[in-house]
Copies of this chain bind each other. A is one copy, B any other.
Amino acid sequence: MNDQTRPRAASRSGGRAARRAARASALPDHLRPVRPGLEGGLYRPLADTDMQKIHGAALDALDRIGLADAPPSGIAYLTGAGCTLGDDGRLRFPRALVEDTLARANRSVTLHGRDPAHDLDLGGTRVHYGTAGAAVHMVDADGRSYRDSTVQDLHDAARIADRLDNIHFLQRPMVCRDIPDNRDMDLNTIYACCSGTTKHVGTSFTEPGFVADALEMLHMIAGGEEAWRARPFVSNSNCFVVPPMKFATEACQVMENCIRGGMPVLLLSAGMAGATAPATIAGAIVQAVAECLAGLVYVNAVQPGAPAIFGTWPFGLDLRTGAMTGGSGEQALLTAGCAQMHRFYDLPGGAAAGIADAKLPDMQAGWEQMCSNVMAGLSGLNMVYEAAGMHASLLGFCHESLILGDDLIGQALRCVRGIEVTEDTLAVDQIAEVCLGGSGHYLGTEQTLGRMQADYVYPALGDRTSPKQWAEMGKPDLIARATARKEAILSEPAPARFDAATDAAIRARFNIHLQG
């Protein structure tokens, strides 16, 4: 377009005053432009016949190949359910057993927050974004450096996530490297997360024996076992398989303990396409689906209807180097394809998106995080794990990136919300009014003002100033602004997440590393 017709900023002071007035009245939650649980599913990377083929291939793999390395308890559960144990030690899953499990599995899983306002209903194509992972480094964005992550970093991440509207849950994104004892680390992970946020928390356990202690702590936080079981606010992120097609023996025992303790389980199959899963996107999905179907049979053999999330998390690989990569287009397709398989089964599902290979929150990180996050949302993925803060192909976590991720995910959620088509939004009468008798523009009209807050998402830190305004403001740096936001959140009085008596009791019973 030429200069003459180039759109320009509007500057009608009357319209501005009216817009300011409209902004003053904030919208109630249910009218916010984006919120947890918006329905996706309009992006369908797989045709119906593709999904049938993937399902058939997964059933074939379970029947012909099966899974090795189940613990004795798992062998008992699964042969009891109808699996056969071969001379090669592999459990094979007859097609009918899998189909029967699929028919009976729990389809109405709610992941509770300690605050019910943060409950996540995983039905249909409802989309939720949150953190996850096991990063071993913290990224210091300002200093461009990597260092070991600590329990304080984790707690800070929880406190930050608690304040970000578009981060809907906190699965433990990093490992407390400053707690060498694995039992202490697992228990302090729960404490650091739950004392930082009332949103749903996900975590994992290094050994089956640690689950009982964790449940004891969770009962204390909840106010007793009954209260915990009524609203379990922590789920178990469980790598129950070591792809390809082997159970992770100890993780399976962890899973059994969690199911018995009333903790929802994320059945996490994290194959790497080209290394521990086929190099093709379709093949990696087939294997992940097969493994998660095996997990689903396992869960339902332990306890019919136990809440489980179908966690097909295939990752990408840079085949030039053999190193993992999570920021690619292939990764976005892996995740979106898995999301569609979750819908094929009508099961609550989760997968990984938002991973950056970039070491820092730079332009590459932005495009990598958005690509898979928006495609995951559009495909209707229930639980978008790793959605914010993850760098260096999952090795590093960055608080500034988490904060910027709130803007990024808010935008992705706006896309998930989609295009509303009604007589009102089609607006022909409004066009007629503006063109035939009106002002010739839509600024400040009642219809425009009415859409201003209900339809439009505004970034908190994303900058929309003109070059002139930007220069006048001293050319604000995006990362510096995120750091300022982080410091503002963390300088607020620490939220008293547990009452004093509960906190004292927990600290008396467990070796809590965080300062009280």
- Indicate the size class of the contact surface on chain A: 35 or more
Most buried by B among A23, A244, A248, A357: A244
CB of B467 within 8 A of CB of A328, answer: no
Residues of B near A50 (CB, < 8 A) are: 419, 421
Given A282-B421, A451-B319; A365-B363 close (CB under 8 Å): yes
In this assembly, does A272 line the interface, its C-beta being within 8 Å of a C-beta of chain B?
Answer: yes
Closest 3 CB pairs of A and B: A366-B366, A283-B427, A329-B414
B43, B330, B359, B459: the one contacting A378 at CB < 8 Å is: B43
Residues of B within 8 A of A435 (CB): 65, 68, 244-245
Select A447's contact among B11, B279, B374, beta carbons within 8 Å.
B279
Since A19-B320, A285-B419, A378-B378 are in contact, a sample of 20 more A-B pairs with Cβ atoms closer than 8 Å, ordered by chain A residue number, is A6-B134, A7-B270, A7-B272, A7-B276, A23-B320, A43-B43, A57-B427, A278-B430, A278-B442, A283-B430, A319-B448, A319-B451, A327-B462, A332-B411, A359-B465, A359-B475, A363-B478, A366-B369, A392-B466, A393-B466
**Contacts of A436-482 to chain B: CB distance below 8 A:** 436, 440-443, 445, 447-449, 451-452, 455-459, 461-467, 470-471, 475, 477-479
Given contacts A65-B436, A319-B448, A322-B443, contact A414 B328 (CB under 8 A): yes
Give the distance to chain B from A112, nearest Cβ to Cβ, in Å. Answer: 22
Give Cα A463–Cα B319 distance, bound, in whole angstroms: 14
Give the complex CA separation of A23 and B320 in angstroms. Answer: 8
Evaluate contact between B10 and A323: CB separation under 8 angstroms: yes
Q: Is the interface of A mostly helix, strand, loop or mixed?
A: mixed
Q: Do B464 and A357 touch across chains, with their CB atoms under 8 A apart? A: yes
**In the complex, which residues of chain B have a beta carbon less than 8 angstroms from the beta carbon of A333?**
414-415, 418-419
**A238-256, CB < 8 A from B:** 239, 242, 244-245, 248, 251
Least Cβ–Cβ distance between A209 and chain B, in angstroms: 14
The answer to whether A187 has its CB under 8 Å from any CB of chain B is no
Q: Determine how close the nearest CB of chain B comes to the CB of A81; give it in whole angstroms.
A: 21
Bound form: Cα–Cα A272–B462 in Å:
20
A54-B421, A134-B3 in contact; A8/B426 too (CB < 8 A)?
A: no
A315 to B324, CA, bound (A): 38
State the Cβ distance, A78 to closest chain B Cβ, in Å: 17
Q: How far is the CB of A277 from chain B (nearest CB, A)?
A: 7
Contacts known (A268-B1, A464-B357, A467-B146); A286 close to B396, Cβ less than 8 A: no
Nearest-neighbour CB distance to chain B for A442, whole angstroms, equals: 6
For the complex, give the distance between the alpha carbons of A443 and B273 in Å.
Answer: 9
Residue of B279, B369, B431, B441 near A275 (CB, 8 A) is B441
Task: Name, among A285, A324, A419, A465, the residue most crowded by chain B CB atoms within 10 Å (CB to CB).
Answer: A419
Cβ distance A29 to chain B, nearest Cβ, rounded Å: 19
The docked-state distance in angstroms from the alpha carbon of A456 to that of B319 is 8
Q: When the two chains form the complex, which single residue of B64, B88, B358 contacts A432, counting CB atoms closer than 8 Å?
A: B64
- Contact A10 B275, CB 8 Å, known A333-B418, A370-B370: yes
A5: which of B251, B365, B369, B426 is its contact (CB, 8 Å)? Answer: B251
Which residues from B are CB-within-8-Å of A515? none
Q: Is the CB of A2 closer than 8 A to any CB of chain B?
A: yes
Residues of B within 8 A of A144 (CB): 475
Q: How far is the CA of A362 from the CA of B461 in the complex (A)?
A: 12
- Is A280 part of the contact surface with B, judged by Cβ < 8 Å? yes
Docked complex: A297-338 residues within 8 A CB-CB of B: 315, 317-325, 327-330, 332-333, 337
Counting every copy of the chain, the complex holds 2
Are B419 and A464 in touch, CB under 8 angstroms? no
Task: Check A322 against B281 for contact (C-beta < 8 Å).
Answer: no
Q: For residue A118, give the distance in angstroms from its CB to the closest CB of chain B.
A: 23
Q: Which B residues are in CB contact (< 8 Å) with A175?
A: 3
In the assembled complex, how far is the CB of residue A441 from the closest CB belonging to chain B, in whole angstroms?
A: 6
Determine the chain B residues whose CB is within 8 A of the CB of A54 once the complex forms. 421, 426
**What are 29 contact pairs spanning A and B, CB under 8 A?**
A1-B237, A3-B136, A3-B175, A4-B206, A5-B248, A8-B324, A9-B321, A19-B319, A57-B426, A57-B428, A64-B428, A65-B432, A65-B436, A276-B441, A276-B442, A279-B451, A280-B426, A280-B455, A286-B426, A286-B428, A319-B449, A323-B465, A330-B456, A358-B463, A359-B475, A363-B404, A364-B407, A364-B478, A375-B415
Tell yes or no: A408 within 8 A of B by CB: yes
Residues of B close to A358: CB separation below 8 A:
462-463, 478
- Whether, in the assembled complex, A260 has its beta carbon less than 8 Å from a beta carbon of chain B, the answer is no
Contact B441 A9 (CB under 8 A): no
Knowing A395-B467, A455-B280, the reply to whether A421 touches B53 (Cβ < 8 A) is yes
Determine whether the beta carbon of A396 is less than 8 Å from that of B467.
yes
CB neighbours (8 Å) of A436 from chain B are 65, 88
Bitwise, A218-254 to B at CB < 8 A (1) or not (0) is: 0000000000000000000101001011001001000
